[in-house]
Structure 1
Amino acid sequence: MSADHEARKELGFDPDALREKYRIERDKRLREDGNEQYVEVKGQFSHYVEDPYITDRIQREPLTDEVDVAIIGGGFGGLLAGVRLRQAGVANIRMIEKGDEFGGTWYWNRYPGAACDIESYVYLPLLEETGYIPPKKYVEGADIMAYSQQIAKQWNLYDDVCFQTEVQELRWDEAAQRWIIKTNQGDAMKARFVISSNGPLNRPKLPGIEGIDSYQGHTFHTSRWDYAYTGGDAHGNLTGLKDKRVGIIGTGATAVQCVPHLGAAAKELFVFQRTPSSIDERNDKPTDEEWVKSLKPNWHQERMDNFNTLVSGGVTDEDLVNDGWTEIIRNLLLMIRNEDEPDMSMEAIMEKMELADFQKMESIRSRVEAVIEDPETAEHLKPYYRQFCKRPCFHDDYLPTFNRENVHLIDTEGRGIDRITPKGIVANGVEYELDCIIFGTGFEVGTEYTRRCGYDTYGREGKSLSQHWADGARTYHGLHSSGFPNSFMMGTLQTAFTANYPHSLNEQAKHIAYIVNQCMEGNHQVVEATADAEQEWVDTIISLARMNEKFLADCTPGYYNNEGKPTERSQQNTSYGAGPVAFFKMLEDWRAEGMMSGLQLK
C-alpha cells in the first residue's frame, strides 16, 4: 500500500479529489459579468429601498446652521463615533440618519429570525460603559436595535439628530473651510468635520434576472421585510403565508435565519439556491448569571481582543469565546503546530492549513448528511469550497427545515435562475408558480463607493470622490482621502476587516476622535492626508492583497472575491491584508507617536 494511500486513509478523504471537486464547483459559478449581474435599486426598482417602518413622516424646515461634527449614519459606526467624540469633549455633534431611528443594519434588517451570528458579548460595543449584559449568547435583532437606542440616549446623541434625512451631496466650501451637506429635506447645513459611516452592507441589490420586472405577484427584499403581507413579527408566526406559495432567492446568512420561519408558515416554500452556505452548529443559550458575577474590569475589551486574535489566526493561551468561529481557527492552528517541525516553510504551513480546512468542511458536509433525510437534497446542500471563501453560517434550524414536506430546495447547479415570468420563477427549465418572491440577495459590495452610499462628495476645486477614485479607492489608513479635508470614512475599505465588525468600528472611532480633538485643541481648521501618504497606503494595500490572490481566485464566486473575478482594482478596493490585530496596533502606535504623520494640519 502506497504512502499516499495510507495518508488519505488516515485523513478520511482524498485531498486531490477535493481540490478537483472545489475547482469544478467554482467553475460552474463563474460569470463574465461578475458584479454587473446585479441590478441597482433605482428607477422602477426604487421601492425596494423605501422605508416600510416609518409611521409618521417628519415635516421640518430646512437646516442651514453649523455644527462642529456631522456624523452620517446611525448604526454602530455612527454611534461609536458619537460616543468617542463625546468622551473627547466634543459637544456640538449632529447625527444624520435616513431611517426613523438609531440601529443601522438592525433598523433595516427586521426579518424573522434576525440575530447576530457573532457572540453578543463581543459583538455589542460599549458593554462595560453601558452596564448592559445581553440576555443570551446570540442576541436577537430587536434587542440590538433597542441597545443602539440605549447608547444614543446615554451619550445624548438624540439632542441633535436628523432622522428620515438622506444625504444627497457633500461639498467642501474652501472659503468657509466647512462642508455643506445637502439632503432630501432641503438642508444645506454646515459642518467643520464630517464622518461618513454608511455601513459596508447597506444598499440592497437585486439579481439581474431576465423578466424580473414582469412578475405580477408580491415581492420584497429581506432588508425591507413586509409584515403587512406575511403577518407575524421578528419571532415568526407568519400567519399571512398559510395559503401562499413563497419563493426565496438566495441562501446566504439572511436566508439561513429566515428560511426556518418561512418553512414553518408557508403553504409551500421554494428555496432557490446557486451556492449552498456552510452551516455549522449555533448552540445558542441564555446568559449564565454566575459568569456575569465573575466578570472583572476590562473584561469586554479583553474578550473582544481574544476573539479577534483567534479569528485572525493568532495564538492565545485561552479561548474565551469558544464558539464556532474560534473553533475553525483553533483546528487550523493545531494542524500547523508540530514540535517535530519547528521551522516549517510557508509552503508547508499553507499545505497543512489547507488539510485542516478540508477536514472542517468535511465535518460540515457530514452534518448535512446526518440532518437531511433525503440523500439527493443533502448532496445539493453540501458546500464544496474553502471555509472562508464565503461567510460561515451557524444555525440549528436551517437544515432541518428541508425535511418538511412543504419545503423544496431548487438547486440550480451554480447557474442561477433562468428567468422570472409574470407567474413565478423558471429554474432548471421548470416554471414554479408563486404568490410571493422574496429577494434574499444581499447588499452591494464591490460596486462604486458613491453608488453604495447614495451620494457623491466634492472636495477641493470641486473634484468628486468618484473622480478621485476612478481607478480604485485612494485613502490613508482607509479613513482619509487627499483633497477631501476634514472628512473621515468608516468601514472596511482599506482598513481592517474582522469577523466582529463593531470591534473594527470602535478602533476607527477612537482614532477619528483623537484626530478631531487634536485639531480642535490646537485650533487647526483643516486636517488632510498628504498625497504621498495616500499613495504609500494604496501601495501597501495592493501588495498585501496580492498575498491572498491565489486563495481568492480559487474560491467559489461571492462578494469576498468580487464574484469570482479578483482584479488589480478589486485588490486596491479591499481591506488591510496584514489583518485587524496589526492594523489596530498600527493606529495605536500612530497616536502614541503624536506626530500626526501623513496628515497636513493648517
Structure 2
Amino acid sequence: MTDLNLGFDPAALKQRYLSERDKRLRADANEQYVEMAGKFAHFLSDPYVERPIEREPVTDERDAVVIGGGFGGLLAGARLRKAGIDDICLIEKGGEFGGTWYWNRYPGAACDIESYVYLPLLEETGFMPERKYSGADEIRAYSQRIADHFDLTRRALLQTEVTGVAWDEAARRWIVSTNRGDAIRARFVIMANGPLHRPKLPGIPGIEEFEGHTFHTSRWDYGYTGGTSKGGLDKLGDKVVGIIGTGATAVQAVPHLGAAAKQLYVFQRTPSSIDVRNDRLTDKQWAASLQPGWHRHRMENFNTLVSGGWAEEDLVADGWTEIIRNLGVIARMKAVKEGAADPDELVQLADFKKMEAIRARVDEKIANPAVAEALKPWYNQFCKRPCFHDEYLDTFNRDSVTLVDTNGKGVERITREGVVANGQEYKLDCLIFATGFEVGTSYARRAGYDVTGRDGRTLEQKWQSGARTLHGMTVNGFPNLFIFSVIQSGFTANYPHSLDEQACHSAHIIAEAMGRQATRVEATVEGEEAWTAEVLDSLLDRRKFLEECTPGYYNGEGKISPLAASFASYGKGSPAFFRILDEWRAAGDFQGIEMD
C-alpha cells in the first residue's frame, strides 16, 4: 500500500494487526465457552418476574405461532396482521415483550444504533424516541406498545419456554410444546428466537469455585448492586468488583460500576473500539417536520452507508457512517495523486485512518500512558462490533478503577476468592460476566429446543454437515416453517431492519399459501442447494478479511471452516440481499418453493 502522507505506515499497521490477532488465536475457538446448563443453569434464572403467571396448558390450534417476543417476533406478528392473518400466538420465555431488551437491563443499557432507525414500525405506531439513542427502559416499553398496537398481547403466552417443535405429516400441522405443558397445533411456525439469545460463560478453570457473588450482565442483580438501568449502584460502595469482558455491554456498564464500587477490576483480553457517542434529546421541530415514508428512507440510507455503499446524503451522520466519509476523502487524495484507485486498497486505507483516530482518542482521554496503550484496539474496525461511548475511557482515570490487561491471553483461572490474571490473584466480593451470547454453537443449543421435520429428522441433524436454506428462511423437509436469523441471510449492523425484511417476506409467502388454501409450503431441494451455493460463493472475498481479524463472534473466534461458512450471512451485503427478496416477490412465481 502507498502511504499518501496519511501520518501512518499501512504496511506496519497491517503487520501489527496480524501479530495482535495471533496472540489471541485459540485451538478451542467457540468451545472455550461453557453452556449455561447443569451447575451453571442458575445463571439463566429470570430475576425480573415479580409475579409468576399461573394458567392451564393450552392445546388450541392457530394459523401461526411465532416463537420469540423481541423485535423479530413483534415484526412477524405485525406483518402477518398487515397481510390479513389474525389468528396468531406469540410465545416468549420472558415476563414481558422485548427479547434482548427484556433481559439486558444492566446499568447504562441503551441501543448503539440511532433509535430513529433502530426502533421498528415508528410510523405505524406513531412513536418518536426521547433521545437519539434510546435507553433499555424506553425500548422495552416500546416493545409493549408494538404488541398492543397490533393486538399481539391477547393470545400471547409469556413466561413460557418452547421445548420442542414437531411436524405432524398426517394433519400437516406443527405441534409446539412448552415447559408449561402446552401442545399448540400451528399451521405455520415462525422462529424469531434472536441471534443473541442464550448467554454464555467463559470456560475458565475454576469458574464454579468462586464463593463471592456472581451474575451475568443479561441477568443483572440490582438486589445486590442497588440502582437501576440508569445507574446509581448505591450498594457497591464497600464492594470490590471484577468484570470479565470488554465488549459493547461492558462499555456501557463499566462507567456506572466505576463510579459506585470501592474498587473495580476490568479484566481485558481484547479492547473494544470506542468512538464518540454524542447522545442528545430528540429535536421536536425536526420530528414535526418529517414527511410520510421518512422512517424507511432513513433506515435504507443508513444501511447503504454502513454496508459500504454510497449515498448523496448521510442522514444519520454518526460513528457508524463516518468511515464512508473517510473513504471519500482518501479516494479524492488518491485520484489527485495517481489518477486511479484500487477499491480494496481504498477501503483498507479508510479503515486504517479511522482506527488511527480511535487510538488517538484513547491517548487524549487516558492520563496513564501504559493504560492508554492497553486500551488501544489493533484490528480493522468491523472485525468486532464498534462501540460508542463518552464516559467509558474516562472511567480508567479513576483511582478506584484498574484495567487488568492480559495481553490477549485472557484470565488464567478463578479461585474461591477471586480471579487470577498475569500470575496475580485479584480478590473480589463480586464477579460479573459481561461475556455475551452464544453465536457459533449449534442452532438447537442456542434456541433451547430442536425442530423435528418430516420423517422424524431434526433441524440439528439436517444441518450437521452445514446449513441448507432458501434465502435463510425456509428449509426442505421442514414445511410451513420460517426462520429469522443471520444464517444465509442479509446481515446489517441495524438488525431490526433485517428482521423487518424477513417478516415482510415470510408474511407474503404465508398469505399466498392461505389464499391458495395450501397445506404445505416448503423449499425445494434444488432451491436450497442453489441458494446455499450462492451464499458460499459470495463469501470468497469476505473470508480473507475475517481470517485476518482478531478472534470474536464475527469470525467464529478465529476459526472459519467450510461448515461454519455455510452458517454465515450473504457475503454481498444486506442491500443486495434485500433486493433479491424484493425481486423474488415481484416475479410472483415463488421460485424454489413448493405449495400444495
* TM-score bucket (shorter structure): over 0.9
User: For residues 94 and 341 of structure 1, do their structure 2 counterparts lie closer, same or farther at Cα, with a shift above 3 Å needed?
Assistant: farther
Shift of 1:257: 0.3
1:401-550 to structure 2, matched below 5 A, reads: 401-550=395-544
Secondary structure at 1:562 match in 2: helix
Distance 1:192 1:335 in 2: 54
Q: Quick check: 1:80 aligned with 2:75?
A: yes
User: For residues 341 and 15 of structure 1, do their structure 2 counterparts lie closer, same or farther at Cα, with a shift above 3 Å needed?
Assistant: closer
Distance 1:450 1:251 in 2: 27
Distance 2:328 2:494 in 1: 20
Secondary structure at 1:552 match in 2: helix
User: For residues 64 and 591 of structure 1, do their structure 2 counterparts lie closer, same or farther at Cα, with a shift above 3 Å needed?
Assistant: same
1:353-364 to structure 2, matched below 5 A, reads: 353-364=347-358
Paired residue type of 2:526? D
Distance 2:238 2:180 in 1: 42
Tell me what 1:171 maps to.
166
Paired residue type of 2:502? Q
- For the Cα contact (< 8 Å) 1:310–1:330, is it kept in 2? no
- For the Cα contact (< 8 Å) 1:485–1:528, is it kept in 2? yes
Tell me what 2:17 maps to.
22
The structure 1 residue matched to 2:316, chosen from 301, 317, 321, is: 321
User: Which aligned segments of 4 or more residues in structure 1 are displaced greater than 2 angstroms?
Assistant: 332-345
Secondary structure at 2:235 match in 1: helix
Percent of aligned positions that are identical: 60
* Mean Cα deviation higher: 542-551 or 424-433: 542-551
Distance 2:246 2:488 in 1: 28
Distance 1:549 1:461 in 2: 36
Tell me what 1:149 maps to.
144
Tell me what 2:298 maps to.
303
The structure 1 residue matched to 2:560, chosen from 557, 563, 566, is: 566
User: For residues 170 and 344 of structure 1, do their structure 2 counterparts lie closer, same or farther at Cα, with a shift above 3 Å needed?
Assistant: farther
For each residue in 1:7-40, what CA deviation from the matched residue of structure 2 results, as whole angstroms up to 9, or x when unmatched?
A: 6481111112111111111110000100000000
- For the Cα contact (< 8 Å) 1:68–1:192, is it kept in 2? yes
Paired residue type of 1:595? D
For each residue in 1:440-461, what CA deviation from the matched residue of structure 2 results, as whole angstroms up to 9, or x when unmatched?
A: 0000011100000000000001
Q: Quick check: 1:134 aligned with 2:135?
A: no
Shift of 1:335: 2.5
Paired residue type of 1:580? S
Shift of 1:344: 5.1
Paired residue type of 2:343? I
Tell me what 1:103 maps to.
98
Distance 2:55 2:288 in 1: 47
* Mean Cα deviation higher: 50-59 or 455-464: 50-59
User: For residues 597 and 218 of structure 1, do their structure 2 counterparts lie closer, same or farther at Cα, with a shift above 3 Å needed?
Assistant: same
Shift of 1:499: 0.6
Shift of 1:61: 1.3
Distance 2:239 2:493 in 1: 37
For each residue in 1:456-481, what CA deviation from the matched residue of structure 2 results, as whole angstroms up to 9, or x when unmatched?
A: 00000110000000011111100011
Distance 2:244 2:522 in 1: 44
Shift of 1:159: 1.1
Tell me what 1:591 maps to.
585
Q: Quick check: 1:226 aligned with 2:226?
A: no
Paired residue type of 1:45? F
TM-score between both structures, scaled by the size of structure 1:
0.97
- For the Cα contact (< 8 Å) 1:269–1:408, is it kept in 2? yes
- For the Cα contact (< 8 Å) 1:120–1:139, is it kept in 2? yes
Paired residue type of 1:219? T
Q: Quick check: 1:119 aligned with 2:128?
A: no
Q: Quick check: 1:162 aligned with 2:157?
A: yes
Distance 1:342 1:541 in 2: 35
TM-score between both structures, scaled by the size of structure 2:
0.98
Distance 2:144 2:297 in 1: 25
The structure 2 residue matched to 1:93, chosen from 84, 88, 92, is: 88
What count of residue pairs does the alignment treat as equivalent? 595
1:43-82 to structure 2, matched below 5 A, reads: 43-82=38-77
- For the Cα contact (< 8 Å) 1:136–1:284, is it kept in 2? yes
Please tell me the root mean square deviation across aligned C-alpha atoms, in Å.
1.3
Paired residue type of 2:72? G
- For the Cα contact (< 8 Å) 1:26–1:557, is it kept in 2? yes
* Mean Cα deviation higher: 365-374 or 285-294: 285-294
Tell me what 2:379 maps to.
385
Distance 2:142 2:329 in 1: 37
Where do 5+ consecutive residues of structure 1 fail to align?
Answer: none
Distance 1:325 1:418 in 2: 34
Secondary structure at 1:431 match in 2: strand
Where do 5+ consecutive residues of structure 2 fail to align?
Answer: none
- For the Cα contact (< 8 Å) 1:247–1:436, is it kept in 2? yes
Paired residue type of 2:483? M
Distance 1:472 1:590 in 2: 24
Q: Quick check: 1:291 aligned with 2:286?
A: yes
Paired residue type of 1:236? G
Distance 1:516 1:268 in 2: 55
Distance 2:347 2:426 in 1: 42
The structure 2 residue matched to 1:38, chosen from 21, 33, 36, is: 33
Distance 1:180 1:330 in 2: 51
For each residue in 1:300-320, what CA deviation from the matched residue of structure 2 results, as whole angstroms up to 9, or x when unmatched?
A: 110001001111111111111
Shift of 1:164: 0.8
Paired residue type of 1:48? F
Tell me what 2:250 maps to.
255
Secondary structure at 2:455 match in 1: helix
Shift of 1:341: 9.2
Distance 1:9 1:514 in 2: 51
For each residue in 1:234-285, what CA deviation from the matched residue of structure 2 results, as whole angstroms up to 9, or x when unmatched?
A: 0101011110000000000000000000000000000000000000000001
- For the Cα contact (< 8 Å) 1:168–1:183, is it kept in 2? yes
Distance 1:183 1:297 in 2: 42
Paired residue type of 1:122? V
Shift of 1:65: 1.3
Shift of 1:550: 1.1
